[in-house]
Amino acid sequence: MAYKETRSFGGNGGGAFNPVVVNRFAVNSGDELDAVIINDNQYGGNGGMRHDTFYLQSDEYFNYMDIRSGDRVDKICLRTNKGRAYGPYGGMGGGFQVFENIRIFTIGGRSGARVDRLDVTMIRDYQPSSIYQSGPSDFVVTKVFGVGTHKFYEAERARTAITYRDLCSTTVAMNVSVEAEFFAKVSTSLNASVTTQSETEKVAESEKQASTTSTYTINSGEVGLVISPADVFSSSGKAWFAPTGPATFVTAKCGTYEQIKAQFLNKRVWDFSRSMDVQAPVLNGKSINELGAICYQFPSDTGVIIYQNGDYQGRATSFGPGRYNVDSLGWVGNDQASSVRVPSGFKVTLFEHADCSGRSKVLTSSAANLGNDFNDIVSSLIVEKI
């Protein structure tokens, strides 16, 4: 099981510098590390040779470190999950230690004329989250408002910080691997080192104070949603969300299910607030539970809709006219289809194997159950207008 650990390398000289999430890293070195430069802030002196700055990509992290240290830090070498390396830089003094299968969370330490100590917080036996199954565009709802007048912050940075604040406590409680991943996303998005829930709350409050606000009025038959485009990740069978853009305030018509569906057509909407159906009762019974999260899907009715479960339940994907191979089956996925809606004027041919091969089944009307002969075996299909 993954666990978080802080290890110190070096002595107690110099003054302390705070641990931060690393986005950019460089060193000055000779026989020792003369300075470390973390996110463009230098700690240590001006001796030694300055080495190029290492820029971590948005999905990149240090997963390997070897280090030599005694009373000070003598040498360091880092590698990433992308196979890139930084170093080794420094000399051969001190004791040697190697750390593999980690994710470096933060680096702090002590420095004076040289780097006296590095304090490295790492996730040991790190288990990376996986990006969730591809499909329609994903959005996460963090707040829901009913009838009334509501305030919303205009500055994009404020909206982003507030969204991360709202997501924070539930997300970082999942496990230490997700905690490190989430705060790396926060730090990158806000261009500031954020490593705890309290720091996230402080940044959000500061950004709120700096932002102007707008007022939105929600009338009867409407619902107000604070909604953000997001990447959806899976860890230990649970979903978590990382915004990919600033939140917006959406006033959605919700007198009927068709009204709200029209506004989110071909999108997946994840209800982190768990209250959409409270303010919009037309959504009652319309969600699915996916990775422990509430998800609403709104596939288009202008094509054939394939469902994961019988009776038109579970994950759904809409297909217009064309040929669809195993890698194009969207959210339903390979060998998962159990029911199909076929609108008037359409025909769908389901195939047992990829490349539209093997046994086939032709439908010109909807089937609430594909039966024992074709349940959970569809690997490709052809949709035609007739």
CATH value at residue 371: 2.60.20.10
Is residue 208 within 8 A of residue 200, CB to CB? The reply is no
* Short-list 56, 3, 86, CA closest to 185: 56
Tokens representing 333 are 């996925």
Intra-chain end-to-end CA distance of the chain, in Å = 56
Q: What is the DSSP pairing of strand 293-297 with strand 322-324?
A: unpaired
Q: Return the pLDDT at 312.
A: 93
Residue type, 59: D
Q: Are residues 198 and 142 in the same domain?
A: yes
Domain with residue 80: its CATH number is 2.100.10.30
Q: Are residues 335 and 211 in the same domain?
A: no
Region of residue 62 (left: phi > 0; alpha: psi -120 to 50; beta: else):
beta
Q: Are residues 268 and 168 in the same domain?
A: yes
Q: Are residues 151 and 292 in the same domain?
A: yes
Q: Are residues 246 and 336 in the same domain?
A: no
| CA diameter of the chain | 80
Q: Give the full edge-to-edge strand order of the sheet including 313-319.
A: 313-319, 304-309, 339-341
Q: Are residues 205 and 65 in the same domain?
A: no
Pairwise CA distance, residues 333 & 306, whole Å = 10
Pairwise CA distance, residues 157 & 46, whole Å = 35
Q: Are residues 46 and 182 in the same domain?
A: no
The answer for residues whose C-beta is within 8 angstroms of residue 311's C-beta and 6 or more apart is 339, 368, 369
Q: Are residues 156 and 282 in the same domain?
A: yes
Pairwise CA distance, residues 372 & 316, whole Å = 20
- Say what angle helices 197-210 and 176-190 make with each other, to 10 degrees: 20
Half-sphere exposure (Cβ direction) of 79: Cα atoms closer than 13 Å: 11
Domain boundary among the residues 257, 277, 297 is at: 297
The answer for residues whose C-beta is within 8 angstroms of residue 48's C-beta and 6 or more apart is 27, 28, 29, 30, 32, 33, 34, 35
Q: Return the pLDDT at 330.
A: 84
Q: Are residues 118 and 142 in the same domain?
A: no
Domain boundary among the residues 124, 150, 165 is at: 124
Q: Are residues 149 and 265 in the same domain?
A: yes
Low-confidence ranges of the chain (pLDDT < 50): none
Q: Are residues 21 and 105 in the same domain?
A: yes
- Tell me which residue has tokens 């409050």: 205
Q: Are residues 14 and 112 in the same domain?
A: yes
**DSSP summary character for residue 279:** H
Look up the domain containing 146 and give its range.
Answer: 130-297
The tally of domains found in the chain comes to 3
Q: Return the pLDDT at 132.
A: 87
Domain boundary among the residues 56, 91, 124 is at: 124
Residue count of the chain: 386
Q: Return the pLDDT at 345.
A: 94
